[in-house]
Chain A
Amino acid sequence: MLGNMPEKQTLGEILEQQGVSRRGFMKFCATITSMMALPPSMVSAVAQSLENAKRPSVIWLPFQECTGCTESFTRSHSPTIEGLIFNSISLDYHHTLQAAAGHAAEDAKHQAMEANKGEYLLLVDGSIPVGNPGYSCIAGMSNEDQLMEAAEGAAAIVSIGTCAAFGGIPKAKPNPTGAVAVRDLIKDKPIINVSGCPPIPMVITGVLTHFLTFGSLPELDHEGRPVAFFGQTIHDRCYRRTFYDRGLFAESFDDEGAKKGWCLYKLGCKAPTTYNACATVKWNQGTSFPIESGHPCLGCSEPDFWDKGGFYEPLSATAFGPTSALLAAGAAGAALGAASAYAARRKQKKAQESQT
């Protein structure tokens, strides 16, 4: 459990003031239970916790980023249901969204940090350049100093996006700015990594809602990501998995296999080694996800995804040389799965070794 949240209005009180009926509240709870990837049987427990939840203070620091994560997050709310979640956090500092500027903005940040010391949630997007502070600084302060200052009084840190979580594109070779992830600099605070380039909007909201609902961090995987969303590979939940298992692959983007919606493994799909919720939560209000649109997964929620060989090279290519020999041998889907997972682990290990 994290520290107690500030003694402010409860969410139940806020909703009652807004004239939200019990049915509206239960609809809200059913939606966010689904959003947090919790089983539907948890709805009443969520309702009970949420009713008494306090409004947490949130400070959002953007560093070396493209604002894609903020774009994704702001797409995740609308004037109704997720809007209530957005309204039920106190977003005290965010460069892109705040109206204040200059000293007024910095003062607001320091006031929020002081008033909620030890209790606020720190959200970070973007990687942090170490060494030369001139690569990225805000109000005359280096990104590293800003992070260290804000992290000190935070209850927990949420690294939004692959850049903050793992270094992302700024860290890609040759890493000109010396970019690192939040977890490389902060060792004494709970850190939750919500990776993705950008992360799925519902996943960002789901993590914030979990904190709001239970006052604690969700269960995390070996990369510090919430298991509810990153517990399985995209491949495990892909609707094209049946083709993979039957050895039916698209060989090019315009062949019969591609038209029939067969597996995109041979076109470089990284889904077998990519942990994310794209196949179920999907994108654009649940419309589809890259594989459904006919494009292989790039593996954007994994560490060093930019340096793991070509996006259009099969996972097995680097580890085993030309893939044609391997695949032409009529390897069954299951065997291919085992081989690709092994190959990817080797590649990940190699990438980690070359970074150190």
Chain B
Amino acid sequence: MSGIRDIGVRVETPLPEDHSFGNVRPILHEVLHALERLADTGEPTTIDLRALPFGPGEEERLEEALGTGEVAIRMEALGESRIVECAFPGVWLITHYNSHEEIMARLIEIAEVPAIIRAESRDMRAGAASLRRRLEESGREHESTDAATPQPHNTTHETG
């Protein structure tokens, strides 16, 4: 044998692609029950995917089973978060990343709208104060600009 390239290599898939470790169906059932509860009573549910013992490829299969719906939201707060409505309205897949794009948390939220999307009153008040300040500042700038600029009727008098 003359070199490493001459050694025959056969790549084997360790498990068939459709192999199940038994986690996907129970979670889909849990989602179903939570979705029915949401529709009947309005009670939301969150499932923490980190708490589940997924086998290789199982999380991807769960994601495929949940599918993709009409809404996709990208949130920028302490790193990116991707919030995607699944094929079943009211079921959201939430992935929180840090600034290194590492996954920090993965949740399925069964709710009308994910709670984290709602603007909080403290942020809204801070936003209103900031907008008011900006308007006041630009108002003052506007006034000072007006004072410095010669009034049109004066020039009319001079030329007239």
Q: A residues within 8 Å of B by Cβ?
A: 20-24, 26-28, 30-31, 33-35, 37, 39-41, 43, 78-82, 84, 237-240, 242, 259-261, 279-281, 285-286, 288, 292
Contacts and interface: CB of A to CB of B under 8 A. Distances in A.
B123 A285 contact: no
Given A80-B99, A81-B104, A22 B122 contact: yes
A82 B99 CA distance: 11
11 contacts: A20-B77, A22-B122, A23-B120, A26-B115, A31-B104, A43-B46, A79-B98, A79-B100, A81-B104, A239-B21, A292-B55
Given A23-B120, A260-B15, A280-B53, A239 B23 contact: yes
A21 B116 CA distance: 11
B47 A285 contact: no
Given A22-B123, A30-B105, A37-B51, 5 more contacts: A27-B81, A27-B116, A242-B22, A260-B14, A292-B55
A27 B99 contact: no
Contacts of A280: 50-53
A279 B79 CA distance: 26
A81 B120 contact: no
A28 B99 CA distance: 13
A240 B55 contact: yes
Contact of B48 (A39, A261, A285): A39
A41 B58 CA distance: 25
Given A21-B77, A34-B105, A81-B79, A40 B53 contact: no
A242 B105 contact: no
B27 interface: no
Nearest to A41: B46
Contacts of B53: 237-239, 279-280
B98 A78 contact: yes
Given A23-B120, A40-B46, A242-B21, A31 B115 contact: no
Contact of A40 (B47, B52, B75): B47
B67 interface: no
Interface string B1-26: 00000000000101100000111000
A78 B101 CA distance: 11
Interface of B: 12, 14-15, 21-23, 46-48, 50-56, 58, 75, 77-79, 81, 96, 98-100, 102-105, 107, 115-116, 120, 122-123
B54 to A, nearest CB: 6
A288 B8 CA distance: 29
A82 B52 CA distance: 21
Q: Chain A contact residues: over half helix, strand or loop, or mixed? A: helix
A279 B21 CA distance: 13
A261 B79 contact: no
A79 B79 CA distance: 10
A267 to B, nearest CB: 15
Contact of B78 (A20, A261, A285): A20
Most buried by B among A23, A239, A292: A23
Q: Which 3 pairs show the lowest CB-CB distances between chains A and B?
A: A239-B55, A40-B46, A24-B77
A259 B103 contact: no
B5 to A, nearest CB: 22
A20 B58 CA distance: 34
B99 A79 contact: yes
A40 B58 contact: no
Nearest to A30: B105
A164 to B, nearest CB: 26
A241 to B, nearest CB: 8
Contacts of A28: 78
Contacts of A37: 51
A30 B123 contact: no
A292 B56 contact: yes
A81 B55 CA distance: 27
B107 A259 contact: no
B107 A40 contact: yes
A325 B43 CA distance: 55
A190 B104 CA distance: 30
A31 B96 contact: yes
B12 A259 contact: yes
A261 B81 CA distance: 33
A23 B77 contact: yes
A23 B48 contact: no
A293 to B, nearest CB: 10
Given A23-B120, A27-B81, A81-B79, A286 B22 contact: no
B96 A27 contact: yes
Nearest to A279: B53
Contacts of B103: 285-286
Contact of B51 (A21, A23, A26, A34): A34
